[in-house]
Amino acid sequence: MIMLKVESVTKRFGGLVALRNVSMSVNKNEIFGIIGPNGSGKTTLFNVISGVLRPDEGKVIFEDKDITHMRPSDRVKLGIARTFQTIRVFPYMPVYWNVMVTASSVYSDSRIAKARVSWALIITGLLGEAGELAGKLTPYKLKMLEFARCLVANPKLIMLDEPFAGLSPEEIERLISIILKLRENGLTFIIIEHKLKYLMRIADRIMALSLGEKVAEGKPDEVARHPKVIEAYIGVT
Amino acid sequence: MEFTLIKFIFIFGVLHSFIYLSFALGFSLVFGVAKIPYLSYAGLYTLSAYLMHLLLTKAGIPTIISAISSIGAIGGLSIVIGDYIVKPSMKNPLSIFISTMTVSYIVEEVFRIKMGLTPVALPALRGVITIAGVPVAQQWIAVLIIGAVSSFLVLIYLSKTATGKSIRAVAESWYESMIIGINPYKVFRVTMLIAGLLAGVASISLSPLKAVVPSMGWSPLFVSFAIVILGGMGSIKGTVVASFIYGFVEQFVTWKYGGAFASIVPLALIVLVLIFRPTGLFGEKE
Amino acid sequence: MFRQKTVADKVRENLLGIIVLLILALLPMRANDFLLDTLVRTYIFVILAVTLDFFSGTTGYLNLGHSFIFGLSAYLTGILYVYLKIPTEIAILGAGLLGTFGSLALLLPSLRVRGVYFAILSLLYPIIFIGIVTTQPFSLYLGGEGGLRIKQLFLDIARKLPPTERLAFLHNAYYYLSFILMVASFIVLYKLAYNEFGFKLRSIGQDEELSEAAGVNTTNMKIKGFLLSAVFASYAGALYAGMRPPITVDFVNTGSILLPTLTAMIVGGAGTIIGPAIAAFLLTLLYQYLWGLVGLWRTVAYMIILLAFVLIRPQGIFFDIYLRIRRLVDKVIG
């Protein structure tokens, strides 16, 4: 079953074309990877899917619903969650409230919201820091906080933007096991990553972007060997 | 609309537009370089007029020298404000807002206490000339020339000189201009100086025609803000075009409907632009 | 996980506040009229500070036109009385409501753009308002410089009392009305600010884009937060118009209304609600005291205080002081 469909999306910034005619579809329960050199449009694509940006052309369809012009907060309520490349949290609010802000926006019953927050904090191991100001957390815990914010709303699709950046190998392994466990429980993932070694292990399919265009899509090892992909990476180094 | 009305609107539109342009350019430059609305502009405008008045009457200094000293002092004060008030709080936009705004209020309050609310008169060029049957005070010609010349000088400065071009570079991106070797802080100070000088010049040339009262600075500030929003943030071309649009619209409303309605013009314009085209005429998407 | 809080718990938690409220509530029995008068002004400023902080201190949308809200309902009170012949008491109730929605004019144009625009736009409103009210043809209908004259609140009731009791009645009535409005606005806004509603507002202030991405409908929240702030500020304005006619442009004057309120918000600690409340209280009293010290220059002194705090200690001090006192009190009570 197709969870998300991106149809011929083009996005321009002034004279720059950040995304050109990009199409992709993600199946339910899939781990879909997106790779590409810096500036290839990966985060822009995330922004279009999550609603931070509107495409100049094309459509975004989530579970058969056209969400192209829906505001981000409504997409969250539909079940789309995302993290940011530069970890973003609300630095001057306690960890508890960082997650509660999302929960109370999605659940009208505050008891459910509180229960969901407790659950999210437990899974991500942040229960002990619930009262700490988010700005004081370590990078790994910050990522966990972003994760908790995503999870608390009971998402169907989670989009992670370079989740492994800045983490030690052990931390990456921990994160991977969490992702895989969540996938077992029915979640779908789209992951942008540079650390190809780890992405290859967990992704079902990968799409490669270069200069705003899709240059390859398919199983991880196919894409890794694709001449255009190699060219895109080597060409830019 | 009768022909006389059109003549009035056109002539006063031109007269106002050039001086508004020179003033709005200062505001626009600071907005571009420091990314903040220069709320102290109102205070500088007011201070300039009162300073000249004091130099003239209390110190008996001749008109031209008072004018030049006053303008220079305001330019210097602008740099000081930039260094001690704007720069320290640059990471916190709210703080800059409040602090720069407070400077203007302090100026207004000090002069309200010391000089009272009675308007003060600055010397004007005497005499009235007629242009196409419309009586125009000679001072207006001075305003026109001063406005046009200062605008022209600033525009040339921005496009032809090295510092001028670095101002535009810093307005685009502090980071990138640092990479190519420009010192954005130096550019910042120059920008503040220019803005201060322009405020002083506009104030001294216009004040003889309008009342010098403690609250006089806010109107020019809002006019510049309306012009910059209409023209589009960060666009010099936009500021130029918008100044003329603004000047003519304002004079149209003034001569056809009266002063009370004219005071709504800046607000109405800003609201309309924000609702229908937030980036302004030539602004970049932000 | 937590046991339910008993009444005794609640009393202990809020002991400090309860004591202060009791003292203030019983004050009219011992205080002279001048003190009551000063306190009325103080309470109005506390309302202004708390309402400004509730919206601007959390979302970062600096409402520099807060005095517009105050003055709008003041003038609406006058208009309802003069032109619709509605008695002052009812005019106040109506004007408060109308003014709340009228003040949305401040917020709506800037909903599509960044908060910076809102601040500058809001700065414009009071000035334009004053410009309109003081110029022909509007000045003829709105009282111009002299102001709109209305029948003072409760004046007819006071006239039914023996002459010696009239003034005391009015002073007490005004005192309790403003006191109740202040307590009501403080309690409502304080509770909201430290709950889900308030934290959503704060998330907008800390990172609006993230807030939206985190599921908060920022447009919705901004409107709701603004309306809550506006309703109490509006009623404060309408009430003040009823208590202190004539209604003049002083009600909208940014210098005399917005700046002291802004000072209280900054010096008290933006976003804390209670910091600005304390600050407004103390600073308004300080303002009176400054008169004896520096006369007319007290307004400039006030502005310099604001400037100094914004440059040197933008997080304010009164909230920190309050926290320390709280901890001490909690330790003593046990």
Chain B within 8 Å of A15 (Cβ-Cβ)?
no
Confidence class for position A229, pLDDT limits 50, 70, 90: confident
Mean pLDDT in residue range A144-165: 94
In a domain, C263, yes or no: no
Note the pLDDT tens digit of each residue in B121-154: 777 766 777 777 778 888 888 888 889 999 999 9
Question: How many other CB atoms are there within 10 angstroms of residue C228's CB atom?
Answer: 21
Note the pLDDT tens digit of each residue in C7-54: 777 777 777 788 888 888 888 878 788 888 889 999 999 999 999 999
In a domain, B283, yes or no: no
Note the pLDDT tens digit of each residue in C188-207: 999 999 999 999 999 999 99
Residue of B nearest to A13 (CA): B285
Count of domains in chain B?
1
CA distance C176 to A80: 51
In a domain, C3, yes or no: no
CA distance A92 to A11: 34
Mean pLDDT in residue range C209-236: 96
In a domain, B286, yes or no: no
Chain C within 8 Å of B93 (Cβ-Cβ)?
yes
Note the pLDDT tens digit of each residue in C79-106: 999 899 888 899 999 999 999 999 998 8
Best mutation site among B105, B213, B215, B272 for testing chain C: the one with the most C CBs within 10 Å? B105
Across chain A, what does the average pLDDT equal? 92
The predicted pLDDT at position C133 comes to 86
Residue type at C103 in one-letter notation? S
| Token pair in block for residue C233 | 């500020």
In a domain, B97, yes or no: yes
Residue of C nearest to B265 (CA): C128
> For A90, which of C196, C207, C218 is closest by C-beta distance?
C207
Best mutation site among B117, B233, B267 for testing chain C: the one with the most C CBs within 10 Å? B267
The predicted pLDDT at position B286 comes to 42
Kindly give the residue spans of alpha helices, DSSP state H, lying in chain B.
Answer: 3-34, 41-57, 63-81, 93-115, 138-160, 162-172, 174-179, 184-206, 218-231, 236-257, 259-262, 265-276
State whether the Cα torsion C120-C126-C129-C131 is positive or negative: negative
Are the beta carbons of A153 and C215 separated by less than 8 Å? yes
> For A52, which of C199, C209, C217 is closest by C-beta distance?
C209
Are the beta carbons of A52 and C212 separated by less than 8 Å? yes
In a domain, B282, yes or no: no
Q: State how far residue C263 is from chain B, nearest Cα, in angstroms.
A: 9
Cβ A179 vs Cβ A150: under 8 Å:
no
Query: H or E segment at C170?
Result: helix C163-193
Predicted confidence (pLDDT) at residue A184 exceeds the cutoff of 90: yes
- HSE of B153 in the Cβ direction (CA atoms, 13 Å)? 15
Count of domains in chain C?
1
In a domain, C287, yes or no: no
- For residue C289, CA distances in Å to B71, C14, C284, C299 come to 38, 30, 9, 12
Which residues have C-beta within 8 Å of that of residue B179, sequence separation ≥ 6?
none
Chain C within 8 Å of B116 (Cβ-Cβ)?
no
Note the pLDDT tens digit of each residue in A113-137: 999 999 999 989 999 999 999 999 9
Are the beta carbons of A72 and C213 separated by less than 8 Å? yes
In a domain, B285, yes or no: no
Mean pLDDT in residue range C290-301: 82
Chain B within 8 Å of A54 (Cβ-Cβ)?
no
Torsion angle of the four alpha carbons C111, B173, B90, B96, in this order, in degrees rounded to the nearest 10: -40
Confidence class for position A235, pLDDT limits 50, 70, 90: low
Which residues in chain B touch residue C305, judged by CB atoms under 8 angstroms apart? none
Predicted confidence (pLDDT) at residue A202 exceeds the cutoff of 70: yes
- % of chain C residues with pLDDT over 70: 98
User: What pTM does this model have?
Assistant: 0.90
| Token pair in block for residue B23 | 């003033």
Residue B27 sits in a domain whose CATH number is 1.10.3470.10
Interface of A with C in 157-186 (CB under 8 A): none
Confidence class for position A207, pLDDT limits 50, 70, 90: very high
Are the beta carbons of B109 and C120 separated by less than 8 Å? no
Each residue's pLDDT, cut to its tens digit, for chain B (286 residues) gives: 678 888 888 888 888 999 999 999 999 999 888 888 899 999 999 999 999 888 888 888 888 888 899 999 999 999 999 999 888 877 777 788 889 999 999 999 999 988 888 887 777 766 777 777 778 888 888 888 889 999 999 999 988 888 888 888 888 777 778 888 888 888 999 999 999 999 999 999 888 888 888 989 988 998 999 999 899 887 888 999 999 999 999 998 888 887 777 778 888 888 888 878 878 888 765 4
Which residues in chain C touch residue A90, judged by CB atoms under 8 angstroms apart? 202-203, 206-207, 210-211
Note the pLDDT tens digit of each residue in C35-45: 888 899 999 99
Q: State how far residue B95 is from chain A, nearest Cα, in angstroms.
A: 17
The predicted pLDDT at position A2 comes to 92
Chain C within 8 Å of A135 (Cβ-Cβ)?
no
Confidence class for position A32, pLDDT limits 50, 70, 90: very high
Chain C within 8 Å of B163 (Cβ-Cβ)?
no
The predicted pLDDT at position C218 comes to 94
Mean pLDDT in residue range A170-186: 92
Bridging pattern class, strands A157-161 and A188-192: parallel
Mean pLDDT in residue range A71-93: 94
Pick the more confident residue, B175 or A208.
Answer: A208
In a domain, C332, yes or no: no
| Token pair in block for residue C165 | 């009791």
Return left, alpha or beta for C97; rule: phi > 0 is left, psi -120 to 50 is alpha, else beta.
alpha
Interface of C with A in 205-264 (CB under 8 A): 206-207, 209-219
Cβ B218 vs Cβ B45: under 8 Å:
no
| Token pair in block for residue B111 | 């002069």
CA distance B142 to B156: 21
> For B99, which of C60, C116, C310 is closest by C-beta distance?
C310
> For A101, which of C209, C214, C219 is closest by C-beta distance?
C214
Out of A86-90, B275-279, C122-126, C194-198, pick the least confident.
B275-279
Chain B within 8 Å of A14 (Cβ-Cβ)?
yes
Angle at C29 between CA C26 and CA C30, to 5 degrees: 105
Out of B101-115, C35-49, C256-270, C279-293, pick the least confident.
C279-293
In a domain, B8, yes or no: yes
Instruction: Spell out which chain B residues touch chain A, with contact meaning CB-CB distance below 8 angstroms.
Output: 284-285
Predicted confidence (pLDDT) at residue C239 exceeds the cutoff of 80: yes
Q: Which domain does B7 fall in, by range?
A: 3-276
Are the beta carbons of B106 and C300 separated by less than 8 Å? yes
Cβ C109 vs Cβ B275: under 8 Å:
yes
In a domain, B281, yes or no: no
Q: Which domain does C174 fall in, by range?
A: 31-252
Pick the more confident residue, B4 or C69.
Answer: C69
In a domain, C56, yes or no: yes
Chain C within 8 Å of B222 (Cβ-Cβ)?
yes
The predicted pLDDT at position A189 comes to 97
Are the beta carbons of C218 and A105 separated by less than 8 Å? no
Cβ C241 vs Cβ C65: under 8 Å:
no
Torsion angle of the four alpha carbons A174, A176, A178, A179, in this order, in degrees rounded to the nearest 10: 160
Which residues in chain A touch residue C319, judged by CB atoms under 8 angstroms apart? none
Confidence class for position C1, pLDDT limits 50, 70, 90: low
Cβ C241 vs Cβ C44: under 8 Å:
no
Predicted confidence (pLDDT) at residue A33 exceeds the cutoff of 90: yes
Q: State how far residue B263 is from chain C, nearest Cα, in angstroms.
A: 6
